[in-house]
Structure 1
């Protein structure tokens, strides 16, 4: 039987296509608050999409880390995230925000835009507004509310780089990384259940996202021991759907007390990482779609979607209805992502071997 890793070696797989679908799922979920239109609760769709990003990142960067030195690994990770982010911030501050003020007639200045860029350029998301340039939209508090996850993703890269540094860990990766994944799930359960460490979603993020990232690393360590099985994928789906439904129905506010039986959303975070990771990796190996193999626009879709949706809201796109607003948001975001990939990200990735001594050519 084929192993889980076999169809995922190299780039001839559907992982980038899945990442693009996850980015579009975030657009769909964010369209409800950004348009201000009422809609039946769909459940935490953007949460599941972000979790999927993190479990795939944990898998992919683990392989990347063991193939290269620490400095080279860090250089590759920085090239993948930072140039695209910095240009996105500049475009948002110097192009998208001024376009919005043509409709709102609010004050905008280059100084305001550059302050916005500087405050968000370090990955740790600081104030996400530019004066009152987002006046009169349903959600005026952020020009790019998706960027908060990049800080935690960078922490995941750092953790993977340090954890897989010792040769002892690399030789015994499977038991060690599986233990780390189980420990991360236990921390999520304790933080949201018996200990009830926090009630704030963004402060919950370090434990929740670490749980999915660690699961991706564990699946990488087990990649040659797990079969690529449609039955296992169906089992993962059978586990994941009830967990997703339980999270969707968990509309509470959670009680501010410690409890041994936390809400359905917590159980989704604790139990979903490994099934979700296996399902995504299996799909990445068996789906025949190769969209994104050469041109990966998933990152650009993720970072440009929110500001483009805000611009649509400024110009009244929500008056067309939620479905039209969502489709229009995808339609205006994809070209921005394509430009980001072709003009920025792809060019920067050509520098990944900068400073490396070429291997000698055999006679």
Structure 2
């Protein structure tokens, strides 16, 4: 027992750079993404099924979304540093848009007609009327959630409507505009060479500045709505629509912290004592009802720490099949339909499990039929015009045929 305690104490007080602890696929980012997606489903189960928050002190869904942005910041900056800017943008488009497009089509061409037929007994007025299916697809096609609902399909007869007056058919999609905004920002930084080692201090300086704004707002205004960058909108931006400043501040900061962690992975210390301390600090901010503030920095460290410290058995989650995106984008629609059908009569736990199960089935289908096939195009390159000539590679220095005797020696 004593040797075990000694090893645990030594590990808790020993630091190593995050770059050494992080090993390609040997991490728990996939498991964390799946956990965050399920946390969003649980949070929405209370809101959509029962018209109330899951907990009063903090929004579990907002906590999960902040976690998504931290992981995304790390992985996206890592991708941008390893590929050209056009290739990076191509990869990001393949990861987001095909799954989103099919989700929008399923919502508009399958779910909406069923709801409209049930409500009106006809499909007349569903497609081309203002706020109808065609408007819904056109407004939201590129990731900006500019039209929340379709007609009057969810008005008056859902718990969420009675609580918030929300006719929203898929509220989860609102975060995609912020994610895409961050992708474009990273692409710009990569094109300007700011992600290179010599200029990475500029990204660190930006993170420090934003953290200073969060601290200032917390000290001067607490959890109130006043403060720097807390009111108003940015935009409307092309394709993405208008972005709320406070959400861009919070989630943009988490993305930025994740990106800086990647840029400084050779210096960022991974330490169990720091991880536990960050967990306590983040939890304390959550319990005070002011989680979206300075506590976000501690939370970001907790995510990175868990990514390399969770059991190795979790490293396999999401490596081959990543269902977290599909689970996230389909669950809101599923829960709205189930709530309209009265499935919440089984209670919160039952409603959560039922909606999570159906959403997972759709996520599996989305991954295997849409997302994964789309990602096979990652290495596609447009053909150049004019005849293509293939050089005789056997005359090039150092070239050896795959079938030459020397290659099989």
Fold shared per TM-score above 0.5? yes
Gap change, CA 1:231 and 1:173, over 3 Å in 2:
farther
Q: Which whole-Å CA distance do the structure 2 matches of 1:196 and 1:81 have between them?
A: 31
Q: Structure 1's 107 and 235: CA in aligned 2 closer, same or farther, altered over 3 A?
A: farther
The superposition leaves residues 162-197 of structure 1 with CA deviations (integer Å, 9 ceiling, x where unpaired) of 123333551235422221111122334556747455
Residues 1:130 and 2:145 aligned together? no
1:225-251 Cα distance to aligned partner (Å, 9 max, x none):
12332222111101111011112xxxx
CA distance in 2, matches of 1:285, 1:199: 37
Is the alpha carbon distance of 1:36 and 1:278 closer, same or farther for their aligned partners in structure 2, counting shifts above 3 Å?
Answer: same
1:92 Cα offset (Å): 0.8
Deviation at 1:110, TM superposition (A): 4.2
* Corresponding position of 1:75: 90
Deviates more, 1:318-327 or 1:6-15: 6-15
Structure 2 residue 58 is the aligned partner of structure 1 residue 32? no
1:1-363 map, 5 Å: 2-38=16-52, 41=56, 43-101=58-116, 103-105=118-120, 108=123, 109-111=126-128, 112-135=132-155, 136-140=157-161, 141-167=167-193, 169-189=195-215, 193=221, 195=227, 198-199=230-231, 202-247=244-289, 265=290, 268-287=291-310, 288=312, 289=314, 290-355=316-381, 363=400
Shift, 1:356, TM fit: 7.9
Cα contact 2:193–2:199 (8 A) shared by 1 = no
Higher relative contact order (CA 8 A, sep 6+): 1
Question: Conserved in 2, the CA contact under 8 Å of 1:94 and 1:110?
Answer: no
Q: CA RMSD in A?
A: 2.4
| Residue segments in structure 1 that go unaligned for 5+ positions in a row | 248-264
Change beyond 3 A, Cα 1:51–1:310? same
TM-score scaled by length of structure 1 = 0.87
C-alpha separation in 2, matches of 1:167 and 1:97: 46
Counterpart-to-counterpart distance in 1, 2:121 and 2:158: 12
Q: CA deviation at 1:270?
A: 3.1
Is the deviation greater in 340-349 or in 163-172? 163-172
Moved more, 80-89 or 108-117: 108-117
Aligned length: 342
Equivalent residues of 2:207, 2:256 under 8 A apart: yes
CA shift for structure 1 position 32: 1.6
Shift of 1:348: 0.5
- Native 8 Å contact 1:300 1:337 kept in 2: yes
2: distance between equivalents of 1:304 and 1:50?
Answer: 15
Deviation per residue, 1:81-120 (Å, 9 max, x gap): 0111010000011112233345434654344323211111
Q: Aligned equivalents of 2:194 and 2:148: distance in 1?
A: 43
Instruction: Note the C-alpha offset of 1:302.
Output: 0.8
Contact 2:214 2:294 survives alignment (8 Å): no
Q: Single out whichever of 40-49 and 329-338 deviates more from structure 2.
A: 40-49
Cα separation, 1, equivalents of 2:382 and 2:19: 28
Q: Distance in 2 between matches of 1:150 and 1:50?
A: 11
CA contact (8 A) 1:37 1:322 kept: no
Deviates more, 1:30-39 or 1:42-51: 30-39
What is the TM-score when the length of structure 2 is the normalising length? 0.77
Larger deviation: 30-39 or 149-158?
Answer: 30-39
Residues 215, 273 of structure 1: 8 Å contact kept: no
